[in-house]
Amino acid sequence: MKLRGLYAITDSQLLAGKFLQYVEAALDGGVTLLQYRDKSSDEARRLREAEALHNLCERYKTQLIINDDAELAARIGVGVHLGQTDGPLTPARALLGRQAIIGSTCHAQLELAEQAANEGASYVAFGRFFNSNTKPGAPMANLELLDQARARLHLPICAIGGITLENAAPLVAHGADLLAVVHGLFGADSAQEVTRRARAFNALF
């Protein structure tokens, strides 16, 4: 499967009271990857929500990725996204198998991306590219980094951090395969607007 297009990421606060409605609206507009990102420690709720998202993703033929938690990903049978402090890639690959999608946060460091590629990552993520409501303190990345990554890496490149329909096009022009978006997608006033935004993000590729 080609990893290219919109990478929608959930946010439990932003989506409170409209979680599945807004996620389905995004899937309706077209989503390549959907990440379940919940930073709480409510394991029962996390399992329940991840299973609900998995059912929805199967209906829309979208791949589900679990943030941070390789054990939960293994339990459901989906992929995982690991940051630099979320545990090593090699055991996650052994746990999830060769086919699973495993992503790695590389901030603005090509060396981290090369290491992730050697350890079997399916894609590498760089960011943040813009001011982010969701993660304001993340280190900054820039377009030059994307150029260098495109020249040196032979796996899909994901851009993240403050991405909106207004600022996304240069990221794609400089080599991003995946645009990972929380607020610029789900911060909409209606489900119809989420669907419209998802379609518009996909039209950039």
Ligand X SMILES: Cc1nc(C(=O)O)sc1CCOP(=O)(O)O
Ligand Y SMILES: Cc1ncc(COP(=O)(O)OP(=O)(O)O)c(N)n1
Nearer to Mg ion, 25 or 64 (CB): 64
Residue 181 touching ligand X (CB under 6 A):
yes
Among Mg ion, ligand X, ligand Y, none, the one that 158 touches (CB under a kind-dependent 5 to 8 A) is: ligand Y
169 burial (CB, 10 Å; 0-12 / 13-18 / 19+) is exposed
**Residue 103 lies near ligand X (rule: CB under 6 A):** no
Per CB under 6 A, does 149 bind ligand Y? Answer: no
Among 24, 86, 114, 193, binds ligand Y (CB under 6 A): 86
Query: Considering the complex, what minimum distance in angstroms separates the CB of residue 195 from ligand Y?
Result: 21
Cα–Cα distance measured from residue 31 to residue 5, given in angstroms and rounded to the nearest whole number: 7
What whole-number distance in Å separates Cα of residue 113 and Cα of residue 106? 6
93 in contact with ligand Y (CB under 6 A): no
> What tokens appear for 3 in the block?
């990893």
Angle at 182 between CA 165 and CA 81, to 5 degrees: 125
User: Is position 196 an interface residue for ligand Y (rule: CB under 6 A)?
Assistant: no
Contact residue for ligand X among 4, 128, 174, 197 (CB under 6 A): 128
> Of all residues in this chain, which one has the CB nearest to Mg ion in the complex?
83
- For 10, the 3-state DSSP assignment is coil
